[in-house]
Structure 1
Amino acid sequence: MPSPDTDDKLDPQQERVLRKLRGFAAFSGILMGFGFLALFGAIGYRVMVGWKSTPKEITGTIMLPQGAQVLSSTVSDGLLAVTLSRQGVVETRLFDIETRAPRGVLSYAHEP
């Protein structure tokens, strides 16, 4: 039985395999470290910038043209988009959420 004090030498092929294994382990550790940095960076960013809050309650009246029928509406980036049909013409009107002021009109037409 060999004593623990005796140095057992590895042959060159075993040394190469052990060196490759150490390299793979180091690469894996570095890659995992970058993953943790990205994860904690994203969490820190959300904490510092803040989570997107739920939109506040929107109340008020928006004046639409006489005889207009609302087809749909959506809120995005501080704008309210209302798609309506009026006299057979479909259009989308954009309004500012805070002031309810008109911001634009998109009309739709068929290709000739």
Structure 2
Amino acid sequence: MFHRPPPTDTPEEALTPEQERIIRKFRRFSSASLLIMVIGVAAVLGVISYRLLRAKPLATGEVTALLPKGAKIVSTAVSGDVVVLILDVAGATEIRTFDARTLAPAGRLRFAVEP
């Protein structure tokens, strides 16, 4: 099935010094290439495992956010790691933001009408 060259009865010739130098150079380059590839794969796997181990889970459980008396939620939105609530508080608009991972308050922005 596979073509094999006929066996030779002559002994193999010794390599010349130039041929040996080329073979050593090729082996050195191959070794360096293999080492760089192994370091690259190890770095990628290291970054992936670091991110998997350091990822914080999303908050679970109940959180009660107190709103001012008479406040109504106009709309909600989620953007990245932030939950945004738009409130109507006695005719004034207020935006409250919460961290989506911990559900802790992140900020508050109030809008008032000029007199």
1:9 aligns with 2:16: yes
CA contact under 8 A between 1:72 and 1:84: conserved in structure 2?
no
Q: TM-score, normalised by structure 2?
A: 0.50
Q: Paired residue for 1:56, among 50, 55, 60?
A: 60
Aligned mates of 1:73, 1:57 — CA distance in 2: 20
Give the % identical residues: 27
**Residue in 2 that maps onto 1:91:** 94
Aligned mates of 1:108, 1:24 — CA distance in 2: 67
Aligned mates of 2:59, 2:98 — CA distance in 1: 16
Structure ranking higher on relative contact order (CA contacts 8 Å, 6+ apart): 2
* Unaligned ranges ≥5, structure 2: 1-8
CA contact under 8 A between 1:74 and 1:81: conserved in structure 2?
yes
**Residue in 2 that maps onto 1:25:** 30
Which structure has the bigger radius of gyration?
2
Counting matched residue pairs gives 101
CA contact under 8 A between 1:91 and 1:107: conserved in structure 2?
yes
CA contact under 8 A between 2:75 and 2:86: conserved in structure 1?
yes
1:66 aligns with 2:70: yes
* Post-superposition offset of 1:72: 1.5
RMSD, matched Cα:
4.2
* Unaligned ranges ≥5, structure 1: none
CA contact under 8 A between 1:69 and 1:85: conserved in structure 2?
yes
Q: TM-score, normalised by structure 1?
A: 0.51
